[in-house]
Amino acid sequence: MNKIDVLRRLLKIQPKSAETLYLLGLESKDQGLFVEASQAFSEALDFCDDSLRNQILEAMEELPTESPKECKDETQTILPFRLINGTKANISPEHQVRFEDVGGLEPVKDSISIKIIQPFLKPALFEKYKSKSGGGILMYGPPGCGKTYLARATAGECNATFVPVHISDVLNPYMGESAKSIRGIFEYARASRPSIIFIDEIDSIGFSRSKSSSEQVRSMVEQLLTEMEGIESNTDQVLVIGATNMPWDVDGALKRPGRFDRMFFIPPPDLDARTAIFKLKAQDKPVELCDFPLLAEMTEMYSGADIDFLFEAASEAVLVEILHTGIERLITQEDLESEIKRHLPSTVEWLRTIKNYVKYANQSGLYNDVSDYIRLHSEWI
């Protein structure tokens, strides 16, 4: 065990100890870990007194000024620009996805275009009518139906910075640190506006406070509410997209005007979308020419993930056959059809749950779109 490990253990006991952080910074600097040193010094500045502050600043000036490098160690999830934005988010480079890359779902895309994209692209027009561009939208639907992809496409259409956030980026066992992470994310997004923050599994980060007595949940939700309300800062041109499979678990206050005031139901892909997905999945696999429209017709209610799974299962079956017979062949239409016969769509269960939920909880009309969808596909659900 080296000095750095000892100091880290001390920090676990006393996370706000400026002296320990300073010593950790010095030790990291001596061992050439300049990124960690810089971070330790920055954190020490938060808790130190005046006398120690000067020492820390001196030590920071002695750090080399070369540009930060990405950590090669795979057990570390640190990226250098967390020093700036205060998050652990694995922030991706400018994405290339646009609506034309998303097959089908035309009604949803039109809706998002009118309510989200146009205000971003023509802020002056909407400013004239005193309409804010930004705010929050909540996408919900069965798992594997492209909520994340659609969010990326929305960001692409808006030419905005895409900031994906996952629960693991925010969680911290120390009191108040999770809320701090959320604040850091929003500060970064505001600094890089126009930007789109995409919070995957918003039902975990914004979990209903009435269902849990956890202080951590409470502090995260309250911070999220504060940030989205824009009380402390101007949130124009920052859009927050939340995605969830469980809209019933999202705190009620987050679904009120000013926060996630628009809810979009992302249904299982329609026929065009499924055809596009089949073509896309077949691209990088050894598949012979198939009748994708026919396969799409046979896979009503299948999600993108289900179709992906069909290809995986078909590949596995073909590989097993190859290993037995020794003869290589391509994946055929029959292989895919036989896998379709063996696997039910995974979206049906989710739709049954939401059908029962809507039966008892749709007095406000919040779930009218999913209600209509269920009515159209009642034979499945």
Partner 1 sequence: MTYFNNFEVQVQEIEYYLEIEKFTQAKKAIEKLLPETPDNGLLLYYYAFCLYCLEENEVAEEALFESIRLGFRNVDSTYLLGRIRLQCNNFQSAEEAFLEALEMDPQSVPVMSSYALLMFRTGHQKKALNILDQALRLDPSNEVALSVRFIYLLAYGSKNIQLEMLADTLQGAGTETRKLLNIGLYELHHNKLKDAKEAFRQAYLQDPTNTDLLEALDELQMRTSLLFLPNNIIQKLGGPAFFWICTAFIALIGKLFLPDMIAGVLLLILVCLMLATWVSPVIYLAIKRKQARRKRTMLKQLHPRGGRK
| Residue 199 interacting with partner 1 (CB under 8 A) | no
Pick 189 or 205: Cβ nearer partner 1: 205
Selected binder of partner 1 within 172, 233, 332, 333 (CB under 8 A): 172
Q: How many residues does the structure list for the chain?
A: 381
DSSP SS3 for 248: helix
Q: Which are the contacts of 306, defined by CB distance < 8 A and separation ≥ 6? A: 144, 299, 343, 345, 346, 347
Selected binder of partner 1 within 27, 36, 251, 306 (CB under 8 A): 36
| Residue closest to 282 by CA, chosen among 23, 291, 36 | 291
Q: How many CB atoms lie within 10 A of CB 172?
A: 16
Pick 31 or 356: Cβ nearer partner 1: 356
DSSP SS3 for 187: helix
C-alpha dist (Å) from residue 119 to 108, 139, 199, 235: 16, 18, 21, 14
| Residue 252 interacting with partner 1 (CB under 8 A) | no
| Residue 2 interacting with partner 1 (CB under 8 A) | no
Q: Cα(164)–Cα(90) distance, rounded to whole angstroms?
A: 8
| Residue 256 interacting with partner 1 (CB under 8 A) | no
| Residue 187 interacting with partner 1 (CB under 8 A) | no
Q: Which are the contacts of 190, defined by CB distance < 8 A and separation ≥ 6? A: 233, 234, 235, 238
| Residue 67 interacting with partner 1 (CB under 8 A) | no
Q: Cα(136)–Cα(182) distance, rounded to whole angstroms?
A: 15
The answer to whether the peptide bond before residue 286 is cis (omega within 30 degrees of 0) is no
> From the CB of 353, what's the least distance to partner 1, in Å?
5
Pick the stretch among 119-127, 188-196, 211-219, 365-373 that binds partner 1 (CB under 8 A): 211-219
Q: Which of residues 330-369 bind partner 1 (CB under 8 A)?
A: 341-345, 353-354, 356-357, 360-361
> From the CB of 114, what's the least distance to partner 1, in Å?
30
Pick the stretch among 70-78, 91-99, 192-200, 326-334 that binds partner 1 (CB under 8 A): 70-78
> From the CB of 125, what's the least distance to partner 1, in Å?
40
| Residue 249 interacting with partner 1 (CB under 8 A) | yes
Pick 309 or 357: Cβ nearer partner 1: 357
Q: Which are the contacts of 31, defined by CB distance < 8 A and separation ≥ 6? A: 4
Pick 167 or 225: Cβ nearer partner 1: 167
Pick 99 or 357: Cβ nearer partner 1: 357
| Residue closest to 195 by CA, chosen among 164, 167, 163 | 163
Cβ(219)–Cβ(226) below 8 Å? no
| Residue 31 interacting with partner 1 (CB under 8 A) | no
| Residue 236 interacting with partner 1 (CB under 8 A) | no
Q: Which of residues 87-106 bind partner 1 (CB under 8 A)?
A: 88
Q: Cα(317)–Cα(298) distance, rounded to whole angstroms?
A: 20
Q: Are strands 161-165 and 195-200 parallel, antiparallel or unpaired?
A: parallel
Query: With contacts defined by CB under 8 A, how many residues of the chain interact with partner 1?
Result: 47
- Determine whether 88 is exposed, middle or buried from the number of CB atoms within 10 Å of its CB (0-12, 13-18, 19+): buried
Q: Which of residues 267-326 bind partner 1 (CB under 8 A)?
A: 300
Pick 212 or 371: Cβ nearer partner 1: 212
Binding footprint of partner 1 on the chain (CB under 8 A): 8, 11-12, 36, 39, 74-78, 82, 88, 167-168, 171-173, 177, 181, 201, 203-204, 207-208, 210-214, 216-217, 248-249, 300, 341-345, 353-354, 356-357, 360-361, 379-380
